[in-house]
A and B are shown apart, each in its own frame.
Chain A
Amino acid sequence: MPAVTETRETVEKLAKSSYEWGFETDIEMDIAPKGLNEETVRLISERKGEPQWMLDWRLKAFRAWLEMEEPTWAHIHHPPIDYQDAHYFAQPKKKPGPKSLDEVDPELLKTYAKLGIPLHEQALLAGVEGAEEARLPVAVDAVFDSVSVATTFRKTLAEAGVIFCPISEAIREHPELVRKYLGTVVPVSDNFFGALNSAVFTDGSFVYIPEGVRCPMELSTYFRINARNTGQFERTLIIAEDRATVSYLEGCTAPQRDENQLHAAVVELIAMEDASIKYSTVQNWYPGDDEGRGGIYNFVTKRGICRGARSKISWTQVETGSAITWKYPSCVLAGEGSVGEFYSVAVTNNHQQADTGTKMIHLAPNTRSTIIAKTISAGQSDSTYRGLVRMQPKARNARNFTQCDSLLIGDQCGAHTVPYIESRNMTARVEHEATTSKISEDQLFYCRSRGLSEEDAVGLIVNGFCREVLKELPMEFAVEAQKLLQISLEGSVG
């Protein structure tokens, strides 16, 4: 079968495509010594100028973490992680605000340029005075190695009553909100990586949408991993009060490097009555070289709770990067009639490994959830969908629909599906279906016969395969996501 051989060849070519956005910025850093102990936790808390309750909370998490074991159930393999061989704190040195872009560290600007951030927005990010005149419908909270360098559009948001700021700032300025909600969705002792994050997180985003407010713009955070050997521990907390609505975008690119980097973020979402939170992610961290060396280890805990009746939480993710992805954005449906959604595309290539999926915990009557997971494996990669749907005894008339499709490109990769279905209510309905196949020869032939190159044909088919998920992304991201799919499968899957 020539087509199969060609696919194999193109996949091999693909292994040679290098990481397009691999670059490193040289910025002065304030770095904590390597190692993790109570002193590290105290140091982080002190440097962030945190109150005592926050330090106590971190220490509680740290002590819980010491008692925990690293989970081994995921379908991933990696050399043991030495948690003592990393810096847990890195902060760009503070300078007074520059007067114009000319005064801004050129390295920082280069990074923004490569990320495709428009000039006026760059000025905002770099903290140029008076730059807030230029308004865009997207607010960006740039997390530049753990510390938000600048947060834009604060004023517009403040007028609407929306709080969107680095979580470190929220801890200082809105302690009552942070204290009330932090750790209520992902408790400090929830899991190994979550506990680690709770102990040493350096920054992240905090979003608070007051009652009845529809957030006037899409909120967005660019995550970048920058300093060598600094594990990134982001903490995000989003609260939507009654009838509030927000759409949050998270996007990632990272510089090329040769040492494995640990990333263990925690994201907590809380939706009250009739509130709606849409959380979209495009993840494109450095996946490692052809041999799988040097990529990011991404162990993320993402969970949202629909506390109020008729609330809705929707997760959409496009995962193309990282050497290892361990990530299960989940929804706890506690409010009557609340809705949980999970749309995911996971692409693995070369030696990437992804073990990702979701949990839908139905606690209340008439709750509904939808899971659409698309997995594409190429090269020597392994990709697993792992999901749980649980109907608790009170989940009367709850509904779930799950669809998992896997596409294999090449005969050296693996695609796995591990759904858990648990029902304790007779009126609840759960439907699950999963398929695994390769790109159909018929479809390829059809496209080729219409004059498309193999690369374009595969690209077209893959985009079609992922369409159900991509259409859930906000416009800004949908474009970027399609581009990422192309880069990820470059060479064969255009």
Chain B
Amino acid sequence: MSVQPIVAQDTPALEAFIQRASGRGAALAEVGLPTRRVEAWRYTPLRSIADTAWTQAAPLASETVNALLNDLPLPESGARMVYGNGRLLEGLSAPLDVDQQAPGPISPLKGVFSATLNMALGEQGLDLHIPAGTDAELLTLISLSSGDTVSTHLQHRIVLEDGASLTLYDVNAGEGRYIANPRFDIVVGKGATLRHIKLQRESLSGTHLAIVSADVSEKGEYDSFTLNQGGNLARHEAVVTLKAPHAMVHVNGVQIVDGQRLNDLTSMIHHAAPDGSSRQTVKTVLSDAGQGVFQGKILVDRVAQKTDGYQMNQALLLSEKAQINSKPELEIYADDVKCSHGATVGALDDEQLFYLRSRGVPEAQARDILVRAFLIDALDLVADEALRDLLVRSMAS
């Protein structure tokens, strides 16, 4: 019997990555570049990156950095770390006043392509240890990319010790054709809280392959929100594990996709301990020939009794050529749980449009109002009002 390969092993992209990785490329060679026959990538083809030999990015010119920064909705104060093409730009950064430790080991997340690629080519990013009981407030992380056929692979490790808290505003932008492949390895200690607010507005010819893993301890909270707005092909992937009882997780997001672009929000919420709760609301608005992907899995282990899981994903199609592929998934091995998910796909409601038109609201404005109304209950989940305003501003631009 002939066996078709499900991963492409001999693409220029993969060969170049493995060569660049020198000694670290074995796992990547084994995982290969997934094709659409790999279940996790069936809706998000990586063809657009397969034929390019991606090289290491050169340092960014300061005019490029300034031009990109000027374009971004950023908070006026607070700690700030700016990376350009995988390098820390110290002149623009104002680190948090906490211990910077030697880089900890990043967990490999075996079999996950974005993580394996990052492990092979990783560049040093944040290494934060927020001490027990400390509220570190806000840190803005800005990752800029620029160039042609280059790739960056930042590795961030964030450890919140017991009772610590931090709000991380994670902004991604760039110009040109590049791959941004950031990796976040997050540990949330007992009773600690990490709010991870992400704005993804990569270049419209850029590729964004982010992978976040977060381990949450007892009564810890990982509260994330991702606004997927840019990139030719962009996937935000989160693997969140509720490791100890009473952990709480939010993996929310909004995706706004137009042109010929594809945005993808993929998550795996793993309840590995009892009494955990997880909430997920993801809304996608699609216009032109935009493609949206949502893949959300909730896995409940046998020990994770009294789990409370809820997941809602909704898509709004605004044009004939737009496309949504959605796969909400429940895998449940514990009996005393409450898990549900819902999904809807549809266009704007004609009756609602008619109602607004009959009150004298012009069509374009009426549509705008309805789209905003559709998104509002997802956006409202961003607790930090100032950051929420920045995201809304980003959506308007």
**Interface residues, chain A, with chain B CB atoms under 8 Å away:** 4, 66-69, 73, 75, 391, 393, 406, 408-438
Say whether, besides A411-B302, A421-B326, A436-B340, A393 and B333 are in contact (CB < 8 Å). Answer: no
Q: Please name all residues of chain A whose beta carbon is closer than 8 Å to the beta carbon of B315 when the two chains form the complex.
A: 423
For window 314-351 of chain B, which residues contact chain A by CB distance below 8 Å? 315, 317-347
Q: Please name all residues of chain B whose beta carbon is closer than 8 Å to the beta carbon of A410 when the two chains form the complex.
A: 335
Say whether, besides A67-B1, A426-B317, A421 and B345 are in contact (CB < 8 Å). Answer: yes
B42: nearest residue on chain A (CB-CB)? A420
- B305 at the A/B interface (Cβ < 8 Å)? yes
Q: Please name all residues of chain A whose beta carbon is closer than 8 Å to the beta carbon of B331 when the two chains form the complex.
A: 75, 414, 416
7 new A-B contacts, CB < 8 A, other than A416-B329, A420-B326, A421-B327, are A67-B2, A409-B335, A428-B346, A429-B345, A432-B344, A434-B342, A436-B330
Residue pair B323, A431 in contact (C-beta under 8 Å): no
In the A-B complex, the 10 residue pairs with the smallest Cβ-Cβ separation, listed nearest first, are A426-B317, A408-B335, A430-B345, A429-B346, A432-B343, A421-B326, A417-B330, A426-B347, A435-B340, A436-B339
CB contact between A432 and one of B318, B325, B332, B342 (< 8 Å): that residue: B342
A382: nearest residue on chain B (CB-CB)? B333
Say whether, besides A4-B336, A67-B2, A409-B335, A433 and B342 are in contact (CB < 8 Å). Answer: yes
Smallest distance from the beta carbon of A118 to chain B beta carbons, Å? Answer: 42
A431: nearest residue on chain B (CB-CB)? B344
Residue pair A393, B320 in contact (C-beta under 8 Å): yes
Residue pair B341, A417 in contact (C-beta under 8 Å): yes
Among A67, A409, A423, the one with the most B-chain Cβ atoms within 10 Å of its Cβ is: A423
Residue pair B343, A419 in contact (C-beta under 8 Å): yes
CB contact between B317 and one of A73, A419, A423, A431 (< 8 Å): that residue: A423
A414: nearest residue on chain B (CB-CB)? B333
Q: Please name all residues of chain A whose beta carbon is closer than 8 Å to the beta carbon of B318 when the two chains form the complex.
A: 426
- B102 at the A/B interface (Cβ < 8 Å)? no
Complex-state Cα separation, A124 to B328, whole angstroms: 50
B344: nearest residue on chain A (CB-CB)? A431
Say whether, besides A408-B332, A416-B330, A424 and B341 are in contact (CB < 8 Å). Answer: no
Q: Please name all residues of chain B whose beta carbon is closer than 8 Å to the beta carbon of A393 when the two chains form the complex.
A: 320-321
Residue pair A423, B324 in contact (C-beta under 8 Å): yes
Complex-state Cα separation, A78 to B82, whole angstroms: 52
Residue pair A416, B332 in contact (C-beta under 8 Å): yes
Residue pair B336, A433 in contact (C-beta under 8 Å): no
- B39 at the A/B interface (Cβ < 8 Å)? yes
Complex-state Cα separation, A416 to B309, whole angstroms: 13
- B3 at the A/B interface (Cβ < 8 Å)? yes
Say whether, besides A67-B2, A421-B345, A433 and B323 are in contact (CB < 8 Å). Answer: no
Q: Please name all residues of chain B whose beta carbon is closer than 8 Å to the beta carbon of A432 when the two chains form the complex.
A: 328, 341-344
Smallest distance from the beta carbon of A346 to chain B beta carbons, Å? Answer: 15
A441: nearest residue on chain B (CB-CB)? B336
Complex-state Cα separation, A421 to B313, whole angstroms: 11
Complex-state Cα separation, A415 to B333, whole angstroms: 7
CB contact between B328 and one of A67, A419, A427, A437 (< 8 Å): that residue: A419
Say whether, besides A73-B39, A425-B320, A426-B318, A434 and B336 are in contact (CB < 8 Å). Answer: no
Q: Please name all residues of chain B whose beta carbon is closer than 8 Å to the beta carbon of A434 when the two chains form the complex.
A: 328, 330, 340-342
CB contact between B1 and one of A69, A417, A424 (< 8 Å): that residue: A69
Residue pair B337, A437 in contact (C-beta under 8 Å): yes
Residue pair A66, B1 in contact (C-beta under 8 Å): yes
Complex-state Cα separation, A438 to B337, whole angstroms: 7
Complex-state Cα separation, A411 to B302, whole angstroms: 7
Q: Please name all residues of chain A whose beta carbon is closer than 8 Å to the beta carbon of B324 when the two chains form the complex.
A: 421-423
Say whether, besides A418-B327, A436-B337, A429 and B332 are in contact (CB < 8 Å). Answer: no
Smallest distance from the beta carbon of B374 to chain A beta carbons, Å? Answer: 13
Q: Please name all residues of chain B whose beta carbon is closer than 8 Å to the beta carbon of A66 when the two chains form the complex.
A: 1
Among B318, B322, B340, the one with the most A-chain Cβ atoms within 10 Å of its Cβ is: B340
For window 171-194 of chain B, which residues contact chain A by CB distance below 8 Å? none
Among B305, B319, B343, the one with the most A-chain Cβ atoms within 10 Å of its Cβ is: B343
Complex-state Cα separation, A406 to B39, whole angstroms: 24
Complex-state Cα separation, A310 to B324, whole angstroms: 27
Q: Please name all residues of chain A whose beta carbon is closer than 8 Å to the beta carbon of B339 when the two chains form the complex.
A: 435-437
B286: nearest residue on chain A (CB-CB)? A426
Complex-state Cα separation, A418 to B328, whole angstroms: 7
Smallest distance from the beta carbon of A401 to chain B beta carbons, Å? Answer: 10
Residue pair A417, B346 in contact (C-beta under 8 Å): no
Complex-state Cα separation, A282 to B332, whole angstroms: 26
Complex-state Cα separation, A69 to B2, whole angstroms: 8
B335: nearest residue on chain A (CB-CB)? A408
Complex-state Cα separation, A411 to B330, whole angstroms: 16
Q: Please name all residues of chain A whose beta carbon is closer than 8 Å to the beta carbon of B326 when the two chains form the complex.
A: 420-422
Residue pair B335, A411 in contact (C-beta under 8 Å): yes
Q: Please name all residues of chain B whose beta carbon is closer than 8 Å to the beta carbon of A409 when the two chains form the complex.
A: 335
B346: nearest residue on chain A (CB-CB)? A429
Q: Please name all residues of chain B whose beta carbon is closer than 8 Å to the beta carbon of A411 when the two chains form the complex.
A: 302, 305, 334-336
Complex-state Cα separation, A429 to B316, whole angstroms: 10
Smallest distance from the beta carbon of B184 to chain A beta carbons, Å? Answer: 27
Q: Please name all residues of chain A whose beta carbon is closer than 8 Å to the beta carbon of B302 when the two chains form the complex.
A: 411-412
Among A406, A414, A421, A428, the one with the most B-chain Cβ atoms within 10 Å of its Cβ is: A421
B336: nearest residue on chain A (CB-CB)? A438
Say whether, besides A426-B347, A435-B339, A421 and B334 are in contact (CB < 8 Å). Answer: no
Complex-state Cα separation, A157 to B88, whole angstroms: 82
Complex-state Cα separation, A42 to B315, whole angstroms: 52
B322: nearest residue on chain A (CB-CB)? A426
B315: nearest residue on chain A (CB-CB)? A423
Q: Please name all residues of chain B whose beta carbon is closer than 8 Å to the beta carbon of A69 when the two chains form the complex.
A: 1, 3
Q: Please name all residues of chain A whose beta carbon is closer than 8 Å to the beta carbon of B3 when the two chains form the complex.
A: 69
CB contact between B332 and one of A73, A415, A422, A427 (< 8 Å): that residue: A415
Smallest distance from the beta carbon of A258 to chain B beta carbons, Å? Answer: 29
Complex-state Cα separation, A75 to B333, whole angstroms: 13
B312: nearest residue on chain A (CB-CB)? A433
For window 1-54 of chain B, which residues contact chain A by CB distance below 8 Å? 1-3, 39
Complex-state Cα separation, A410 to B336, whole angstroms: 9
